Amino acid sequence: MKRDSSMTAFTRLLVATAAALTFSSMASAQQADTKECEQKRAGVTAEVEEAKAAGQADRVRGLERALAEIKVSCTEPGQKAKRDSRVSQKEKDVTKRQHELEEAQREGKADKIAKRQAKLKEAQDELAAARKK
C-alpha cells in the first residue's frame, strides 16, 4: 500500500508536539522538585515539634532520623534524576506508540488505526504528566 502524505504529516505533527511539551515543562518541573523537598522537610519538622510538645521522645527521635534522611536524599539533583528517568521512559513509550500507529496506518485498517491513536494519546498524556511532576 502506498503511503499517504497525510499519514506522514500526522506523524510529523506528533513529533513536533512531543518536542514542544519537553521544552515547556522543563522549567516548571525544576521548580516542582524544589517545592516537593521543601514540603517534605516542612511536614516532618512540624511533626517533630508536635511530638516534642507531647513529650513523645521516641517519636521525636524517629522523626529526626526521617528528617535527616530527607535532607540527604531529597536534593534537587536527586529529584531531577528521578524525574528525568520517568520522563525518559514515557518518551520511549510515546515513540513506541507512534511506531505502532504508523504500522497500523500502513496496513490501512481503520479499527487498528483508531486504537493506536487512542493509545498514543494516552502515552502523550502520561508523558505530559511526568514532565509536570
The confidence score (pLDDT) of residue 129 equals 92
The confidence score (pLDDT) of residue 23 equals 47
3-state DSSP helix/strand/coil % of the chain, to nearest 5? 90, 0, 10
Output the nine-digit C-alpha cell for 120: 498514543
The confidence score (pLDDT) of residue 131 equals 87
Non-local CB neighbours of 80 within 8 Å, separated by 6+ positions: 29, 30, 33
Q: What residue type is assigned to position 104 of the chain?
A: A
b/e map of 46-68 (b: 16 or more CB within 10 Å)? Answer: ebbeebeeeeeeeebeebeeebe
Q: Walk along the chain (133 residues) and give the pLDDT tens digit of each residue.
A: 555 555 566 666 555 565 555 544 444 444 555 787 888 899 999 999 999 999 999 999 999 999 998 888 777 777 788 889 999 999 999 999 999 999 999 999 999 999 999 999 999 999 999 988 7
Give dist(CA 83, CA 133) in Å, integer.
7
**CB burial class (10 A; 0-12, 13-18, 19+) of residue 94?**
buried
Query: Can you give the residue ranges of every domain in the chain?
Result: 28-74, 76-133
The confidence score (pLDDT) of residue 128 equals 94
The confidence score (pLDDT) of residue 29 equals 45
| Element counts in the chain: helices (H) and strands (E) | 4, 0
- Provide the 8-state DSSP code for 56: -
Q: What residue type is assigned to position 106 of the chain?
A: R
